Amino acid sequence: MAVSRPVRVLGLAALVMWLFFIWQLFKPSPPSGILPGTQFGPGKHDPNLDATGEPEGKLTYASPDYAPGPSGTARIPATLLALVRNEELDGMLQSMHDLERTWNHKFNYPWTFFNDVPFTEEFKTKTRAATKAECRYEVIPREHWDMPSWISKELFDVSAKKLKEQGVQYADMLSYHQMCRWNSGMFYKHPALADYQYYWRVEPNVHFFCDVDYDVFRYMRDNNKTYGFTISLYDSPESIPSLWPETLKFLSEHPEYIHENSAMEWLTDKDGRPEHYAKANGYSTCHFWTNFEIADMSFWRSKAYEDYFNHLDRAGGFFYERWGDAPVHSIAVALFEDKNRIHWFRDIGYQHIPFFNCPNSPKCKGCVTGRLTDGEPFLYKEDCRPNWFKYAGMG
Ligand SMILES: Nc1nc2c(ncn2[C@@H]2O[C@H](COP(=O)(O)OP(=O)(O)OP(=O)(O)O)[C@@H](O)[C@H]2O)c(=O)[nH]1
Ligand SMILES: *[C@@H]1O[C@H](CO)[C@@H](O)[C@H](O)[C@H]1NC(C)=O
Ligand SMILES: [Mg+2]
């Protein structure tokens, strides 16, 4: 029996699709070393698998005193803070919906949006509609954003090309360098933040999974916390070869800034990733992943941090290398602050592609308990939390 050619082609296509479907159903699962929760290695235990409740210490719960507007007298001077582009409106709305649903609709802390260009009316209208809280829209002054006068554009171009060849992500994107510098040493100097002490940094396109019922900012204040994180990773050493040497230079001029209970050992651990430690010239590259960050701006506004930032800024690595605000913030807070004032928000379920913090709690929905990543298996070795727990505990 003759079957016409188009019909044969169609039949073949259907067969291929069917086989693909079967393969998707039965494809091999990842090898056991990388299943959720096992990135801590043999004999080690991922605390995200333990039942997780609220943190110890003084907690303040929602009440009518957190109503939106001036009657919300229970709020302390704090804001949700987002640096975002107009084009990222949909991603910003996604992040807002998650954070409002899980936390902020109970407390109504204001949102402050920053941009290097003015926000569009559409951006303002749609973000305002996503919250009952106050929204503020701020433009970053040129002197906080532009390449500083002592940086050479020619040298930047040459370095960017070299870094790019070494595989450093975003190395040749000037705005990315500007963003990292602004997040490191500028944002808290903006006049719009002058009356605020605490902030919670929120990026577009992140997810929050767990209901949080206490005022997180008050938790920070009432329990003497300076810095809060969810995820901690190893950094790309190619992006920061001279960051640690410059830090040591600074410390030799200012040994008095090192806190007596610092997390120096965490910064200088060489066993976790010996090659990273070598390439970063003595820094573990462990850092808090700053796309999530809840912190006390008094720390960034302190003389110690200001001196440190100015030293780094003059050294040029925000442009000639690709220093991120994550290692800069992490090194500073680990050196100049009591490590007991750094808090792991284990109860805040969070995702920024490709990593998660996903606690074991009935308050969480939409993430797999203990899952670190839904990306490629090699990403499991980027997890630096075990090191933090080793040197600083679970506080
Ligand atoms: N307004 C503005 N915002 C920026 C600019 N560059 C980055 N951002 C914001 O800064 C934050 C960090 O930038 P991302 O591009 O997400 O950097 P990243 O998180 O390291 O990279 P991804 O893994 O790609 O998300 C995001 O909130 C961006 O919206 C910029 O040039 N202008
Ligand atoms: C916080 O610090 C203050 C001043 O050092 C101290 O009096 C207070 O007991 C501390 N509170 C907690 C919960 O550690
Ligand atoms: Mg991002």
pLDDT digits (tens, 9 = 90+) for 227-245: 999 999 999 999 999 999 9
242 in contact with ligand 2, CB cutoff 6 A = no
Q: What is the mean pLDDT of the chain?
A: 93
Per-residue pLDDT tens for 120-139? 999 999 999 999 999 999 99
175 in contact with ligand 1, CB cutoff 6 A = yes
Q: Whose CA is nearest to atom 17 of ligand 1?
A: 176
Q: Model-level pTM?
A: 0.91
224 in contact with ligand 2, CB cutoff 6 A = yes
**113 membership: H or E segment, kind and range:** strand 111-115
Q: Which whole-number Å values give the CA distances from 192 to 35, 95, 188, 344, in the listed order?
A: 45, 22, 9, 28
- Kindly write down the DSSP assignment for every residue of 91-111, as one continuous string: HHHHHHHHHIIIIIHHH-PPE
Question: Domains in the chain, start-ordered, CATH in brackets?
Answer: 50-392 (3.90.550.10)
**Which range is least confidently modeled, 60-64, 103-107, 376-380?**
376-380
| Residue to mutate, 224, 296, 298, 337, ligand 2, most ligand atoms under 8 Å from C-beta | 224
Counting atoms of ligand 2 from 1, which one is nearest the CA of 223? 13
116 in contact with ligand 1, CB cutoff 6 A = yes
Q: What is the pLDDT of residue 45?
A: 78
**Which range is least confidently modeled, 16-30, 119-133, 233-247, 336-350?**
16-30
Ligand 3 centre and the CA of 170: distance in Å? Answer: 12
pLDDT surpasses 60 at 320: yes
Ligand 1 centre and the CA of 179: distance in Å? Answer: 7
Ligand 3 centre and the CA of 191: distance in Å? Answer: 25
Alpha helices of 108-203 — where are they, by DSSP H?
A: 121-128, 142-145, 153-165, 174-185
186 in contact with ligand 1, CB cutoff 6 A = no
Q: Whose CA is nearest to atom 2 of ligand 2?
A: 224
Residue 135 buriedness (CB in 10 A; 0-12 / 13-18 / 19+): middle
Counting atoms of ligand 1 from 1, which one is nearest the CA of 115? 1
Cβ contact 354:276 at 8 Å = no
Distance CA 240, CA 233 (A): 14
